């Protein structure tokens, strides 16, 4: 475990990497005694610093929802981070690539909460009942530290969240079977990835149920109007300046963005 002073120093390192656009050494190497509890506390301190400078938390993201990614990270459950209002884009956006250090793109579904949702004991059907809308979304993941990374590095680094892009067709959660939303992800006209939403823990709402129960343990909950990224159902695709991205969700429409 780390001291509170060490946790604050770790959060300051992440903030410095963001500000200077230069990756820092892995926190797991700088602070070899860091544990998962420490990592989430570092994330809290990072978020508090960003909020103090005017950012606003508008939701959460869930990561490591696939078994393969969990095994690679040597962890048996997902992780989570915050979504800030200054990192949200709409379909058609031109996004500056230099805002990120090592950006990659993932295909996901976003859930818009229609009511507050608080654990414990939340299940998938509770999430669907509390969700007002579901819509296509892309997550830009980014690393503020060097690689390879331990799980504590990812958690402390806001679960590798960089930005969110939303678009396509907005639906109500009972209008379709949200387990079987399929999508393809194209970069510069070439399909790089494809997947189906059931790849996220069997049901994309399952990760959100997990999140609500985890938040309860730290005295928090999901709030009405917040957006939640349910987890990727494709592998991440590297992106760089000049890339044009098109994600096709079939009946749910598409999202297109370019990086300048």
pLDDT in tens, 138-183: 999 999 999 999 999 999 999 999 999 999 999 999 999 999 999 9
pLDDT band at 77 (very low <50, low <70, confident <90, very high): confident
240-260 pLDDT, tens digit per residue, is 999 999 999 999 999 999 999
Of 78, 83, 84, nearest to 36 (Cα)? 78
* β partners of residue 257: 245
The pTM is what?
Answer: 0.95
Of 52, 26, 9, 44, nearest to 144 (Cα)? 26
Q: What's the rounded Cα separation, in Å, for the pair 112 and 17? A: 31
Percent of the chain surpassing pLDDT 90: 94
Answer whether residue 191 shows pLDDT above 60: yes
Among 29-33, 69-73, 118-122, 186-190, which stretch is predicted with the lowest mean pLDDT?
Answer: 69-73
Domain ranges of the chain: 56-259
pLDDT of 67 reads 66
Answer whether residue 68 shows pLDDT above 80: no
pLDDT of 65 reads 81
Q: What's the rounded Cα separation, in Å, for the pair 224 and 131? A: 9
Residues 91/81, Cβ–Cβ less than 8 Å:
no
Domain 56-259 part of CATH 3.40.190.10: no
Answer whether residue 111 shows pLDDT above 70: yes
């Amino acid at each position: 475990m780390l001291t509170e002073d060490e946790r604050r120093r770790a959060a300051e390192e992440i903030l410095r990497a963001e500000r200077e656009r230069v990756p820092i050494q892995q926190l797991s190497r700088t602070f070899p005694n860091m544990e998962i509890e420490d990592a989430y506390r570092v994330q809290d301190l990072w978020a508090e610093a960003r909020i103090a400078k005017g950012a606003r938390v508008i939701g959460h993201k869930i990561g490591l929802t696939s078994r393969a990614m969990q095994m690679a990270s040597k962890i048996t459950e997902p992780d989570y981070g915050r979504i800030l209002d200054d990192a949200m884009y709409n379909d058609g956006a031109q996004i500056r690539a230099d805002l990120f250090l090592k950006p990659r793109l993932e295909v996901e579904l976003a859930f818009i909460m229609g009511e507050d949702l608080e654990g414990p004991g939340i299940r998938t059907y509770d999430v669907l009942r509390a969700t007002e809308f579901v819509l296509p979304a892309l997550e830009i993941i980014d690393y503020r530290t060097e690689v390879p990374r331990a799980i504590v590095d990812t958690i402390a680094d806001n679960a590798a969240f960089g930005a969110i892009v939303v678009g396509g067709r907005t639906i109500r959660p009972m209008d379709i079977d949200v387990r079987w939303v399929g999508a393809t992800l194209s970069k510069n006209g070439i399909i790089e990835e494809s997947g189906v939403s059931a790849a996220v823990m069997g049901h994309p709402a399952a990760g959100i149920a997990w999140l609500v129960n985890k938040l309860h343990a730290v005295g928090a909950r999901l709030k009405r109007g917040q957006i939640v990224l349910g987890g990727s159902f494709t592998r991440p695709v590297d992106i760089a300046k000049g890339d044009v991205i098109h994600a096709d969700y079939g009946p749910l429409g598409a999202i297109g963005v370019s990086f300048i």
